[in-house]
Structure 1
């Protein structure tokens, strides 16, 4: 297994398979990686948060996918430029899953708009915190967050993005999900984040295809994409740090750093908590909101992330 994949598993419990032609299997509680019939690495399957398959010609056994699904561990299948193309999703993720999905499907549009308002506000405040951490001008982002109303009909989220990217990564940067270079770094970090948030959605018994705002009929993970929005600036800040060190492509060093995203500590109303825990609390609070037990989402505070 490549050094970056081993480090990811040890530090962030995210295992990436990044070399073409490798074979993934299950052996007595371990995920094993083999090349040309010879085992080159193994990781305890209970320690894994997500598996990112990011190479051509990979093969795997059905047993390993079933074992990962039973543990609620998503498997992310990546395409060009490190973009996630699919996530292998467990059928049963929570003991109240059927009831929670029914609540989710029955949620009123006004409720979903109010919940989306909170998510956009949290994202914009997190963008401001990321800018402040890099020494960029961030004062206007609190004002932008206050402008967000239910459902964000004025698309303040897009207005914030137009200001955010040039301040964070330079006036010449353009966000392009099909691009390489710095965009590839962002894609890779978001793939790790998406896998972690997918696990939280599944663990809360929610259905990933019933979103709050995202509504692409070809995207089966719209709720995951909704809930990962407030955490994207954690990835952005790490990419900014990597670029500042001269890393402009998805290298082994960059992968190892971005694999740690889910263990970065964020300030919350209770205490510092890793992104993975914050995502679990957010998904749980959303399930309770759908069930009528309050509308306040458990979102991280707009402070500086710690742990890089």
Structure 2
């Protein structure tokens, strides 16, 4: 199973393929390799990295998206497979003609699950979250009450401090959030492509020219687990708002994809939960089911599974 995000951070790294392995070289010396079948996504942050069209083709054959990030750790471009799924054409057609009420109902399920996850994160951090739990119960079709935004306005000051502002261009905590969300976005893109869906045909996000709008939709319920990882890093290292996005923190954020979550299938790694979410979305578009297969809370908590919205 694809389960690893490969990140290229250094300039001058050359990416090649050798006997089914992705090989990384620096100054003609091999510095690492990994089986292509184990790769969930390739994230390139080192602007001097080089790769060939053959590499892109081989990764596409393996259904692996290639994400190229800008200086703020956010994806600037994506190379994604167009023929990696046996029922891709049928599923994309069903996705394209899905009616608005269906999209709104599905978006409400995602928003409700996200707010419930945010409430859990606040409680893990010793903060009050009763109002967010109550808010999650009032999410309507299409989130017509804009409860996602209302929850965010309460969530961030409680979690990160009253002076914290979510700023995608800032350093410290914001840079760590950008990095973690970029990892989630790449993982969501991989799941979407594996499910035979088109990543730019969204349920809610409408950014112009964005090739990963559906990935932005499906990653929403998983974002709070990135937040929790960062809060735990701050608490265990006694760091302040000048949190440094160092190799250890990057590794912790990548490992969030392996964090076991409660699910309808028992404890499952986050990446697998994301795969199931994308597969269930394809099933909704095809008329095979009505609800999404949504994730629960981390297994380590010992708390009961969060119930998905219906």
Same fold (TM over 0.5): yes
What's the offset of the Cα at 1:251? 0.6
Q: Deviations along 1:29-68, whole A, 9 cap, x unmatched?
A: 1111111222222222222221111112111122222111
| Alignment correspondent of 1:66 | 57
Aligned to 1:294: 289
Residue of structure 2 aligned with 1:169, choices 156, 160, 177: 160
Q: Quick one: distance in 2 between partners of 1:118 and 1:214?
A: 15
Q: How does 1:72-111 map to 2 (within 5 A)?
A: 72-111=63-102
Kept in 1: contact 2:3–2:38 (CA 8 A): no
Inter-partner Cα distance in structure 2 for 1:131 and 1:304: 14
Map 1:126-141 → 2, pairs under 5 A: 126-141=117-132
How far apart are the structure 1 equivalents of 2:33 and 2:264? Answer: 38
For 1:211-247, what per-residue CA distance to the aligned partner results, in whole angstroms no more than 9, with x for missing partners?
0000112211111100000000011100111222227
TM-score by length of 1: 0.92
Name the CA distance, whole Å, in 2 between partners of 1:189 and 1:214: 19
Query: Is structure 2 residue 248 aligned with structure 1 residue 257?
Result: no
**Structure 1: any 5+ residue segments left out of the alignment?**
1-10
SS in 1 for 2:137: helix
Q: Cα deviations across residues 85-127 of structure 1 (Å, max 9, x unaligned)?
A: 1221001131111111111111110111111110100000011
Equivalent-residue separation in structure 2 for 1:306 and 1:219 (angstroms): 35
Gapped runs of 5+ residues in structure 2? 302-310
Work out which of the residue numbers 300, 305, 310 in structure 2 matches 1:306: 300
Q: Find the partner of 1:234 among 221, 225, 231.
A: 225
Contact 2:261 2:269 in 1 (8 A): yes
- SS at 1:147's partner residue? coil
| C-alpha contact 2:260 2:298 (8 A) present in aligned 1 | no
**Residue 304 of structure 1: CA displacement?**
3.8
Secondary structure of 2:15's partner?
strand
Give 1:198's match in structure 2, choosing from 189, 195, 220.
Answer: 189
Query: Which deviates further from its counterpart, 103-112 or 59-68?
Result: 59-68
SS for the counterpart of 1:40 is strand
Aligned length: 296
CA shift digits 1:147-194 (9 cap, x unpaired): 110001121000000011111111111111122211110011111111
Q: Corresponding residue for 1:6?
A: none
Alignment match, 2:23: 32
- TM-score (norm: length of structure 2): 0.92
